[in-house]
Amino acid sequence: MNDHAIRRILIVGGGTAGWMAAAAFSSLLDRRDLEILLVESDEIGTVGVGEATIPPLQAFNHMIGVDEDEFLAASQGTFKLGIEFVDWGATGERYFHPFGPHGQDYRGVQFHQFYLRELKRRPLPDIREWSMSGVAAELGRFTRPALNSPMPLPQLSYAFHFDAGLYGQFLRRQSEARGVKRIEGKIVDVTLDGESGHLRSVKLADGGSVDGDLFIDCSGFRGLLIEEKLGAGYEDWSHWLPCDRAVAVPSRFARPPEPFTRSTARAAGWQWRIPLQHRMGNGLVYSSAYLSPEQAEELLLANLEAEALAPPRHLSFTAGRRRVAWSANVVSLGLSSGFVEPLESTSIHLVQSGIAKLLALFPDKRFNPVERDEYNRQMQDVFEDVRDFIILHYKATRRDDSDFWNYCRNMEVPDSLAAKLDLWRAKGRIFRQGCELFATPSWVAVLLGQGVVPEEQEPAANAMDSELMTNAMEQMRLSYRRTAEQMPSHAEFITKNCAAKTDPLVPA
């Protein structure tokens, strides 16, 4: 280990972000001369919502040695094959954004191009019929593809729903077993080194103080270190993402848990429905310019499928990102680095992405600015890509039944999204830029699902013989359906593999 090596990492905050960071650093960094400390305040607590994820979390769990069944049992977890969107394009419409690809590409032409071509010639079922995850979700089925599973099962892609608080506690146990020291206490002051502008230590309410070489700010929305101490600045995106409040409430089950999230558009926002093993997670995300907290709570409670299990919790936020995620010797992760609303379940992924990039650009005590600048550039790209995809859902609507939707439909969008929409509208093309999180099938699902149909398709898609195409598409469609029909139900799969020790899957 060189003289400049980081010897002590101090993580501030024990929410999902803090414990994900602790678990990753304790399992992936050389620990021979490195201490990892985490400070959290029981009095302040965590955000306590955040239940849906996206498929890359599988890789994170694998990387830090988490057994999938064990963690699902510990966090009341279920499987997620995508998101069902209700009333987004127009009231009365629904579509599915599945994980994984649509159909099979052929001779370098993407499947959706053939689908667009056929759509002009004859009525076609929803493109979801050509998605392994989409069809399995529709039938309420689930299985894990094995390495040698025959096609099309390997196309099944999945993520998880879980209680984020329990996931955090699971990672805490794992981290503490690997030597991470947890300090309970409220930070009341932060000391800076006058010369370098770097953080030296944090002072606790009980008078103690803890120093560190590298500080990870996981203190939630307030950004205790990155903003309150270092003034990194916040880029406000609320003109594109006007929802700034949420109210959340758990409820009993009206039926066995389905393997997908549901998002239902409401007059001034949208409502989530996330099935866990022991309860349903529900929440309404809304814009306070169009709906009061009392109206929001009433609307949420009126739209539950079964009895509420706790009083509703209200939260406020501003969509946006910290201008610099890494400043001096502080790297912000989680809510302290920014928040793009939970419509596509991306927050926990942004934590994962920040951790992975920090490991790839891990500093030493000299804090070479090129590493910091590269990290900040990459995190800006990731946040902006997610932002554009979320804005798409609001912009691509035909709803005109409320001031909120009229605003969203007519708003200007970022140039990067406008360019993407132009390319799509002309010939159905989507290009994934750099390390963009959402791939072509995600954009296709949302665009077609919300009724944005391109005028034409790529010329190469027209080259294939019509009859051959019709037959090939029908064969593919049937193979997805037959494969899904052979899977166990989602509830059966959970009961057999990863049921929580308490609260079995019994609908109310």
Ligand X SMILES: Cc1cc2nc3c(=O)[nH]c(=O)nc-3n(C[C@H](O)[C@H](O)[C@H](O)COP(=O)(O)OP(=O)(O)OC[C@H]3O[C@@H](n4cnc5c(N)ncnc54)[C@H](O)[C@@H]3O)c2cc1C
Active site residues: 80
> Nearest 5 degrees, angle CA 206-CA 211-CA 217?
90
Residues 127-166 that bind ligand X (CB under 6 A): 164
Q: Kindly write out the interface string for residues 162-201 of this chain, putting x where it contacts ligand X by CB under 6 A and - elsewhere.
A: --x---------------------xx--------------
Q: Is 317 in the site for ligand X (CB under 6 A)?
A: yes
Question: What is the torsional sign of CA 373, 377, 380, 386?
Answer: negative
Query: Is residue 40 close enough to count as binding ligand X by CB under 6 A?
Result: yes
Distances (CA, A) of 480 to 130, 350, 355: 7, 31, 36
39 part of the interface to ligand X, by CB under 6 A:
yes
By CB under 6 A, tell whether 15 contacts ligand X: yes
Provide, rounded to whole angstroms, the least separation between the CB of residue 221 and ligand X. Answer: 7
Complex with ligand X: residue 342 or 441, whichever CB lies closer: 342
Can you say whether residue 328 is alpha, beta or left, with left for phi > 0 and alpha for psi between -120 and 50 degrees? left
- Reduced DSSP (H G I as helix, E B as strand, rest coil) percent helix, strand, coil of the chain, to 5: 35, 20, 45
How far apart are the two ends of the chain, measured CA to CA in Å?
57
Candidates 26, 110, 113, 219; binder of ligand X (CB under 6 A) is 219
Rounded to a whole number of angstroms, the minimum distance from the CB of residue 383 to ligand X is: 13
Using alpha carbons, select from 261, 242, 240, 246 the residue that is nearest to residue 384.
240
Structure tokens belonging to residue 407: 């605003």
Range in contact with ligand X (rule: CB under 6 A) among 13-21, 59-67, 352-360, 361-369: 13-21
User: According to the binding rule CB under 6 A, does residue 16 interact with ligand X?
Assistant: yes
Do 319 and 7 form a contact (C-beta atoms < 8 A)?
no
Nearest to 95 by CA among 374, 397, 445, 433: 445
Q: Does 224 bind ligand X (CB under 6 A)?
A: yes
- Which DSSP symbol is given to 257? P
Q: Cα 320 vs. chain centroid, distance in angstroms?
A: 15
Nearer to ligand X among residue 347 and residue 479 (C-beta): 347
Is the bond preceding residue 55 a cis peptide, omega within 30 degrees? Answer: no
Nearer to ligand X, 55 or 488 (CB): 55
Name the minimum Å distance from CB 185 to ligand X. 6
* CB of 411 closer than 8 Å to CB of 50: no
Of 224 and 230, CB closest to ligand X? 224
Chosen residue from 7, 33, 45, 310 binding ligand X by CB under 6 A: 45
Q: Does 334 bind ligand X (CB under 6 A)?
A: yes
When computed from its CA atoms, the radius of gyration of the chain, rounded to whole angstroms, is: 23
Among 41, 251, 327, 442, contact with ligand X (rule: CB under 6 A): 41
Site string for ligand X, 87-106 (x = CB under 6 A): --------------------
| Residue placing its CB nearer to ligand X in the complex, 91 or 303 | 303
Q: Rounded to a whole number, what is the largest CA-CA distance in the chain?
A: 78
Nearer to ligand X, 283 or 454 (CB): 283
Residue 140 or 185 with smaller CB distance to ligand X: 185
- Positions that interact with ligand X (CB under 6 A): 13-18, 39-41, 44-47, 49-53, 164, 186-187, 218-220, 224, 246, 248, 283, 315, 317, 334-336, 342, 345, 347-348
